[in-house]
Amino acid sequence: MDIYQTAIRPLLFNLLHTDAEWLHQLTMSRLSWLGNQEDLTATWLRNRCQQSLCLQDSRLQQNLFGLNFSNPVGLAAGFDKDGVATQVWSSLGFGFAEIGTVTLHSQPGNPRPRLFRLIDDRAALNRMGFNNAGAQDMAHRLGFRRQGNLGNIPIGINLGKSKITPLESAAEDYLGSFRLLQDLGDYFVVNVSSPNTPGLRSLQDAAMLGNILAVLQSENSSQKPIFVKIAPDLSWEAIADIISLAKTYELAGIIATNTTIRRDGLKTQYLYQTGKSPQEEAGGISGLPVRDRSTEIIHYIWQQTQGSIPIIGVGGIFTAQDAWEKITAGASLIQVYTGWVYEGPFMVKRILQGLLDNLHHHGLNSISQAVGLQAKG
């Protein structure tokens, strides 16, 4: 236990009952300042973060889909929606970061409150609705920062459909964002699995998703790695269809998984912002309730492909053991969001140290040797 878990988190979560979205916005403004200022104070703070929160070890390094990863733990999409803090994530220990979800048109998202903590479940419920400043704004920001650097780690860009765009025009909407950002991201993710944009999950249908992937790959002159992010609520048949599409359109991999719309087994009785139970609130749930299902899907994808399609595993990762289970199920990389909020800034370093301990225990020389280890058995 560190000071964040023993003192800071209880104060923010319980005593102050701070609005979760307000606290997130405050965090992002501080991180944006930390990453973008070049004065002595900011530089000193970044260096201190790097010394305290980073763990470098060659056994954690991988080269995947043409990109170098110093470690397998990344920041999931949704935290840095507009890419305002790309230069600070490496100083916080992450091996990569995924920004967005970004849409072609700027949009305010759904009405507030739209982000809730489910503390008893170690989870969060969100119905944000892809609130972001739009692809043009992100392109301007990243273009300016590319003149320097983006923090020396791979930066992925998560693409979503604008709410105002009809489902039948979804492919053109994704294409518009990709055209603006193609030269600025290290990899791209087609997000068709958020439950918070009306009809979006229907784009996971093989025909509709195939159309989106076809137009993106036809435009992909720079051969950027493209992923698709899927929901944990899909049937095995639907997942098998997406695996087939990934092969057909030569995707770099699959991200498993997004948030869940299931509500069974929750301990949280009500949400203090609205007084309603989680069952009465729309949106997707992240964190511990989705952990086992996402790992199960990772295992299935790895088995169906015999490890030929890279998987980025996300959902309910709080500890090194959670991370190890995702990797040995078949994930080459993992991402965190809700767990990082609950566990605090030292979480990434603890996970990396735990992964190294597991490698030593199993007599392995690199994290790549652990990928699919449990699935192989």
CA distance 236 to 234: 7
Residue 277 falls in the annotated catalytic set: no
CA distance 181 to 159: 10
Q: How many CB atoms lie within 10 A of CB 123?
A: 25
Which tokens hold the place of 255?
Answer: 């991200």
Instruction: Report whether 169 contacts 163 (CB < 8 A).
Output: no
With residue 227 as reference, give the H or E element that holds it: strand 226-230
Strands 311-314 and 253-256: parallel
Contacts of 312 (CB under 8 A, 6+ apart): 74, 227, 253, 254, 255, 256, 331, 332, 333, 334, 335
Q: How many CB atoms lie within 10 A of CB 299?
A: 22
Helix H, strand E, coil C: the string for 75-89 is ECCCCCCCCCCCCCH
Active-site choice (177, 194, 294, 332)? 194
CA distance 59 to 40: 33
Helix H, strand E, coil C: the string for 243-270 is HHHHHHCCCCEEEECCCECCCCCCCCCC
Contacts of 183 (CB under 8 A, 6+ apart): 222
CA distance 339 to 43: 27
Q: Which residues are catalytic?
A: 194
